[in-house]
Amino acid sequence: MTLLTPESLAQIDREIAKYPAEHKQSAVMAALRIAQTEKGWLSTETIEYVAEYLGMPAIAAYEVATFYNMYELSPCGRHKITVCTNLPCQLQGAGDIAEYLKKKLGIGFGETTPDGRFTLKEGECMGTCGSGPLCLHNNHKMYTRLTPQTVDQLLDGLK
Amino acid sequence: MSTKVCLWTLDHPNPASLETYVANGGYSALKKILAEKTPAEQIIEQVKISALRGRGGAGFPTGLKWSFMPRSFPGDKYVVCNTDEGEPGTFKDRDIVQFNPHQLIEGMVIAGYTLGARAGYNYIHGEIFELYQSWEQALDEARAAGYLGKNICGSGWDFDIHAHHGYGAYICGEETALLESIEGKKGQPRFKPPFPASFGLYGKPTTINNTETLASIPWIVKHGGQRFLELGKPNNGGTKIFSVSGHVNQPGNYEVPLGTPFAELLEMAGGVRDGHRLKAVIPGGSSAPVLPAEIMMDCTLDFDAIAKAGSMLGSGAVIVMDETVCMVQALERLAYFYFEESCGQCTPCREGTGWMYRVVHRIEHGQGRPEDLDLLMSVGGNISGRTICALGDAAVGPVHSFIKHFRKEFEYHIENKRCMVGD
């Protein structure tokens, strides 16, 4: 039995094919992303599995997993909400949106609701400043021009 | 209406589609050079004449950068596009990828042809996963139409492009950190020399350009370098996308000729938000020194004019602040950003960015000490020029310039343990 599903492995294989055959390690960022999407977070076991799959030392994969801040190295909520609070977004009201999210969820940055439904994170620039305040859901879906009303709608839709 | 080089597809329905691009002359520059077997030197010469300067922040002349590439070097060579757009305030490259992906593909393929490369990679910022997916779709479309992959346009020449997705590291916008990241490593910048043109991706000759830079190439090849130059001003060829954020009525991307007065751009962005007045502007992304309103209102937007005014055009990210902004608080957030994003490789940056953040933080929170401003200048001075990459200097730029232009606000904070804004 493999640790990842055949679907995830097929996705990883597609990434490996982008790089010269002797440089499979180039696919490690994508492979960790795909593994995290399946598992919700990256355990040491998952990281070691990915490293073995790519034929690279586990420590090198661990270095990558700890360097880039969108990887989760401990279990997090089913829905991770990352709010950008950098200056351009802040000028456009990100501070108020962040406070609203904290109050509504009853947690601070880096915390998870007791029911495991939400994790709230503070993010850095997402390169979409013209549409701030904004947040990312589980790293991959962006919600822009947030207001308390659209935040309510977003959270209600995430079960 | 003025010419747009990169964002013109937004004036059409289905801006991102291959049909829109081709119906308006897209891929004709590529077809022409492949059919005529245009010598690479001739293309590089046109890029030099165009005075196209790197749109990612450094403003280095693109034609000159291309001329460093050892084109006849046997073996693999690479073209890399830097769409790791994470400089706070910058959000232009995402719009090129979203709304005009085929022009970027054409630009990368022309670069591949000119520089003798066999493959290209586009490194896409981690937080814009949806654009990573749409970019891969555009690549598939281009391959199916014969503009990419094997035997491009029937020429017998092969070149393919792949997407590489970042996962949250500002430092990977630095070109050698980006190469490390594509190689599947921590994104820590390399010591230079050797430069990427001789030792780049997998140790092979590599040219790395910003998204907007590469997307400008088809226009230059099609219309000639001279016409591109004439869109802007001498030494500052072409149009430039300015990402306007902060306290304006209509934040967004505005593509205007280089040399456009700042006042005109501000008006295009709907002016300072209603009922407020301009206080300060960061004209080129968070690493660029801040400028007070009175200096900025006299500036034109080009590399040379902004440099003369004491800042940088950088990536063209214009962060607008009105009179309600506390400069100490604004700087605190930027200082935190550089502290958070320092890769930790060089001691002056790793320790210095944290130190600067802690000092600005205590000033903002009413615990500043009289000597703190001198301390910040000194710590910054000891980072500048003492690191492998430019992140150290980038972190110092805001600290020194905020204190230089708004010293009174910092002194007031230290003395009165509160903010003078809003009193």
CB contact under 8 A, B333 and A56: no
- Residue range A79-157 in CATH 3.40.30.10: yes
Structure confidence by residue, pLDDT tens digits, B8-30: 999 999 999 999 999 999 999 99
- For residue A121, the Cα-to-chain-centroid distance in whole angstroms is 10
Whether chain A has a CB inside 8 Å of the CB on B130: the answer is yes
- B422 pLDDT above the threshold of 80: no
Structure confidence by residue, pLDDT tens digits, B34-48: 999 999 999 999 999
Instruction: For chain A, positions 17-56, list CB contacts with chain B under 8 A.
Output: 18-20, 23, 25-30, 32-33, 54, 56
Per-residue pLDDT, B223: 97
Task: Provide φ and ψ at B146, rounded to 5°.
Answer: 85, 10
Whether chain B has a CB inside 8 Å of the CB on A159: the answer is no
Residue of chain A nearest B162, judged by CA positions:
A18
What global pTM score does this model have? 0.96
Closest to B239 (Cα-Cα) out of B114, B108, B96: B96
Whether chain A has a CB inside 8 Å of the CB on B206: the answer is no
**Token reading at B377:** 């200048």
Structure confidence by residue, pLDDT tens digits, B195-214: 999 999 999 999 999 999 99
Burial call B202-222: b when 16+ CB within 10 Å, e when fewer: bebbbbbbbbbbbbbbbbbbb
Contact residues, chain A, for B88 at CB < 8 Å: 86-88, 124-125, 129
Whether chain B has a CB inside 8 Å of the CB on A63: the answer is yes
**Mean local confidence (pLDDT), B292-300:** 97
**Given strand B317-322, what is the order of strands in its sheet?**
B252-257, B239-246, B317-322, B278-282, B291-292
Contact residues, chain A, for B245 at CB < 8 Å: 88, 91-92, 129-130, 132
User: Fold for domain A6-67?
Assistant: Arc Repressor Mutant, subunit A (1.10.10)
Contact residues, chain B, for A140 at CB < 8 Å: 129-130
Please compute Rg for chain B using Cα positions. 22
Sign of CA pseudo-dihedral B338, B341, B342, B344: positive
Q: Give me the helices (H) in B202-342, please.
A: 211-223, 225-231, 262-268, 293-296, 303-308, 327-341
Question: Pairing between strand B160-165 and B252-257?
Answer: unpaired
- Domain ranges in chain A with CATH number 1.10.10: 6-67
| Rounded CA separation B236/A86 (Å) | 30
Report which secondary-structure segment, H or E, holds B20. Answer: helix B18-23
Instruction: For chain B, positions 59-98, list CB contacts with chain A under 8 A.
Output: 76, 85-91, 93-94
The band of B72, judged by pLDDT with boundaries at 50, 70 and 90, is confident
- B1 pLDDT above the threshold of 90: no
The band of A62, judged by pLDDT with boundaries at 50, 70 and 90, is very high
CB contact under 8 A, A29 and B202: no
CB B248 within 8 A of CB B273: yes
CB contact under 8 A, A69 and B164: no
What amino acid is encoded at A43 in this protein? S
Question: Pairing between strand A118-123 and A79-84?
Answer: parallel
Residue of chain B nearest A137, judged by CA positions:
B127
- B421 pLDDT above the threshold of 90: no
**Mean local confidence (pLDDT), B371-391:** 97
| Rounded CA separation B96/B255 (Å) | 11
What interface predicted TM-score (ipTM) does this complex get?
A: 0.97
Structure confidence by residue, pLDDT tens digits, B100-150: 999 999 999 999 999 999 999 999 999 999 999 999 999 999 999 999 999
DSSP strands (E only) in chain A: 79-84, 111-112, 118-123, 135-137, 141-143
- Domain ranges in chain A with CATH number 3.40.30.10: 79-157
How far A115 CA lies from chain B's nearest CA (Å)?
26
Question: Pairing between strand A141-143 and A135-137?
Answer: antiparallel
